[in-house]
Structure 1
């Protein structure tokens, strides 16, 4: 069975140009195609490519926008045709008495040619300005998304700020990254779902739940999911990433990510049957995140906080290194160069007779010795070497 060729699409830059020419926002175009604004942003940046029925609908819409652009473009005005010069009617003129002398015609002065105006060069942003622009663009949405993962407002805000501080420390790497927002989002999610968060004193005191009963039930349902399933559901149905992008951000295979997504949807639909439709689930997640008043700090405050934290870590590392070097030097200075076994203290031993110096034998000892020599001992005789 052969597959039909995919519908051709214009380049990513042409897609964005067609949308902007038609005065459409990414949200409006996403509503027409039936996807999320994040998906349209990914299509226009070239990070992902639409497939299936979404590709056909997107290509048809772009074709319509291109035709409208062609119709609205002003047609070039046709060059005015020169009318043929009419032959002047000759009328009898009276003959002048004196023929005037022809005057020389004035020569036209050369007009100065206009100098071409050079196009203004693009202004390069400083690292701080680029960081502030990225923070202002993505921080509010990231705080709302992280709130869906944790259910805690302050923890969501702190996680996003820590992620941006890490991005500022590695700014050259983040600035060259293909998706800087994805880099910060992955860091924020890792910090928010860290198991060490449970050991913090703030985690023991619960925050007030959402005021709306439906939002409260949905949030409790999300928090009952395993962290991996919850993160997959938020990325796919909340943020609007594709399955391969979700798998890459969660560092899992595509089949494993699809399995987690299906299990998470089944758990949510089991408690809230009205959210069995993915489109309805996406809308409810967006409403839940938007109903909460979540704030984010200003970009300069986050940058200064990251720099202060980096200075403290550097000073702590220097102090620890100096202390380790000093301890090592003191140990080398005071440690003995060779081993000397300790001398045990002397102790008195009882029950052992005193040693007597040898002296002359008494008469009894001489008699006993002679007796032992004269009497024959039982047993074999001792062999003594003899000279042959």
Structure 2
């Protein structure tokens, strides 16, 4: 029997983010562990999990101190511009003072990871680490209380972010509510996740960007645009971007995630996420030259999101609707199962229980005389018919024989 590793193994969706945070490729991990690159890929997608000694080394490699990782990989300039190299990580200042400086795309030193109302209330990994270190992660809350706390922290900011992503107020509120309903349905998994806010945010974004909404009657026509002309222009530029570019730009320049975290949440490689950020910025700067600076773009995104009065439902209401929807789906599944069992039983009851030979095909019989048809009457037959028709005939008398 294989034993689970002493070091807890992160969830599959966290493994890639931790690997990219340490600036390691799948080939590097495979070389260190002595496995193939396809095996590492299957670990990160959740198709399989490492066991035994390999699992222990893999867990230590992901959770180890990032400062012990190998030097940062430089991305070719033709793929990413010089300002994107090493984005999302920290590196020592070349001046030799030992101070670290931010290497994020277009982020000046001193910019906070989550600033402005666009990300107000979202718990970052640093806050969660401090709470855990201070002993606040002890199980002192009930599941409902923990869910309500997470909803109070994340829901207002997520509604504003989803509005920038879709341009629809009602769809933004519906997407956030559906994401939290799914989180409550899968609360044992979400509660132990390393980034519960990121889990809910990714679910809300996926629901909001679903192409099936265009088929719904309530979302076929555009909503009323913002009152301010500058806000309308910025929202129009955002909605003209492809959805994946819009989402990447919002996560990086709006929410303030690092480049590896943005790439992991959008299920893309780090160079691909960097290219999307660059192209999205170029598209925005081409239409709105005053937003060429990342700081100005972040500020305008925050102002646009804050200008709309977007409210989320109460957490108790979201939990109630989530439980009701789960009950409805459970009842529907039970009813469908019963129907399937009934149809199967009916088919078994009416099906033949023995083999019946098929009827032989008909054969033509030859040698029989043709069937004769009645021909014309002769002269004697014609006289007899005329005589019978000319005489009076009574029914009963004809049936009584004469006594002789």
TM tier relative to shorter chain: 0.5 to 0.7
Counterpart of 2:300 in structure 1 is 284
Give the 5 Å matches for 1:345-364: 352-354=366-368
Counterpart of 1:44 in structure 2 is 126
Indicate the RMSD between aligned Cα atoms, in angstroms.
3.0
| Residue of structure 2 aligned with 1:157, choices 155, 173, 186 | 173
199 and 260 in structure 1: CA distance in 2 versus 1, 3 angstrom threshold: same
Give the 5 Å matches for 1:231-310: 231-310=247-326
173 and 6 in structure 1: CA distance in 2 versus 1, 3 angstrom threshold: farther
Counterpart of 2:98 in structure 1 is 7
Counterpart of 1:209 in structure 2 is 225
What is the deviation of 1:172?
1.3
In the alignment, is the contact (CA less than 8 A) between 2:123 and 2:197 conserved in 1? no
Corresponding position: 1:316 with 2:320:
no
Counterpart of 2:34 in structure 1 is none
In the alignment, is the contact (CA less than 8 A) between 2:159 and 2:312 conserved in 1? yes
State how far apart, in whole Å, the 2-side matches of 1:250 and 1:31 are.
24
CA deviation profile, 1:207-247 (whole Å, cap 9, x unmatched): 11100011001101100100100000000000010100101
6 and 166 in structure 1: CA distance in 2 versus 1, 3 angstrom threshold: farther
Task: Give the length in aligned residue pairs.
Answer: 260
In the alignment, is the contact (CA less than 8 A) between 2:114 and 2:255 conserved in 1? no
State how far apart, in whole Å, the 1-side matches of 2:261 and 2:223 are.
32
132 and 43 in structure 1: CA distance in 2 versus 1, 3 angstrom threshold: closer
State how far apart, in whole Å, the 2-side matches of 1:183 and 1:43 are.
13
Counterpart of 1:74 in structure 2 is none
Counterpart of 2:189 in structure 1 is 173
In the alignment, is the contact (CA less than 8 A) between 2:123 and 2:153 conserved in 1? no
| Residue of structure 1 aligned with 2:156, choices 140, 145, 155 | 140
State how far apart, in whole Å, the 1-side matches of 2:225 and 2:143 are.
39
1:33 aligns to what SS in structure 2?
coil
In the alignment, is the contact (CA less than 8 A) between 2:164 and 2:235 conserved in 1? yes
What is the deviation of 1:185?
0.2
What is the deviation of 1:37?
2.7
TM norm structure 1: 0.62
Deviates more, 1:123-132 or 1:155-164: 123-132
CA deviation profile, 1:283-305 (whole Å, cap 9, x unmatched): 00000000001010001000000
| Residue of structure 2 aligned with 1:130, choices 141, 146, 151 | 146
State how far apart, in whole Å, the 2-side matches of 1:225 and 1:307 are.
36
Give the 5 Å matches for 1:61-210: 124-210=140-226
Counterpart of 1:366 in structure 2 is none
Counterpart of 1:337 in structure 2 is 353
State how far apart, in whole Å, the 2-side matches of 1:248 and 1:218 are.
26
Corresponding position: 1:223 with 2:239:
yes
TM norm structure 2: 0.59
What is the deviation of 1:206?
1.6
1:218 aligns to what SS in structure 2?
helix
State how far apart, in whole Å, the 2-side matches of 1:322 and 1:154 are.
37
State how far apart, in whole Å, the 1-side matches of 2:236 and 2:346 are.
58
CA deviation profile, 1:301-358 (whole Å, cap 9, x unmatched): 0000000000000000000001101111111111113442443686876xx4339xxx
Counterpart of 1:24 in structure 2 is none
